[in-house]
Amino acid sequence: MSPLRSLGVAVVALLTVVLAACAPLRGDAPAPGSPARTSVEELLARVRMVDARGKPGGYERGCKPGQGCVFGAAWSDDTDAPDGHDGCGTRDNVLAQQLRDVVKRGNCVVVGGVLADAYTGTEITFTKADAGAVQIDHVFPLAAAWDLGANAWSLARRARFANDTVVNLLAVSGRANQDKGDKTPGSWLPPAGSSHCFYAAKYLTVAVSYDLPITAADRARLAEVAKGCP
């Protein structure tokens, strides 16, 4: 494992513990246990930067006949990502790990639980009947990753990235996830200001772990966020 990858995994592990321990918080002050300013600034010092997001073309997420399927089948268990080949789909793995009071059907399928949502600072009750209320977000959006270099990766590496439960996936509010789309930090931050430090460190950790650059606009926005971190 490369030094950058090791740093990324270590930071994400810490942030995951922090998020699990923190109650939802609506205010703009950083949530208790948020990553320190020095941690965010260290990541900013390590990440590569480009002037702007490129437009290489060729991004097709869909996997129906005739579609590009450039990141592999959605939520596939057949990857070398963490939790790959465990018999459960990636979405269910994330829900099982990040919700509390989890209810399952069989060994894998999550049908109920409660999410402490990092993006909105609220709690969301998840049920299978209203599954869209909680969605799985790629912190570093797939389309953005494609534009910023993933188009040159092997399909296996892209599939790992898309299903990396340790580094790049968060269970979040469906509405917030739809609002985010494929935006990067220069144009989108979580509605809950209390989560901005967490999100900044999480996004940068993905970038460092996979050697993806951020744009100049992203860097400026994240540097501003860092100033408000504890």
- The mean pLDDT of the chain is 92
CA distances from 197 to 9, 38, 129, 134, 194 (A): 17, 11, 33, 22, 7
Q: Establish if 69 belongs to a structural domain.
A: no
Instruction: Write out pLDDT tens, residues 111-134.
Output: 999 999 999 999 999 999 999 999
- The model's pTM: 0.89
pLDDT at 18: 43
Q: Establish if 161 belongs to a structural domain.
A: no
Name the more confident of 1 and 159.
Answer: 159
SS3 state at 114: strand
The total of structural domains in the chain comes to 1
Q: Establish if 163 belongs to a structural domain.
A: no
Q: Establish if 66 belongs to a structural domain.
A: no
Q: Establish if 217 belongs to a structural domain.
A: yes
Instruction: Write out pLDDT tens, residues 75-114.
Output: 999 999 999 999 999 999 999 999 999 999 999 999 999 9
Expressed as residue numbers, the domain containing 34 is 3-53+88-138+168-227
Segments in the chain forming alpha helices (H): 3-21, 37-46, 90-98, 142-147, 155-162, 174-180, 196-209, 216-227
Instruction: Write out pLDDT tens, residues 184-196.
Output: 999 999 999 999 9
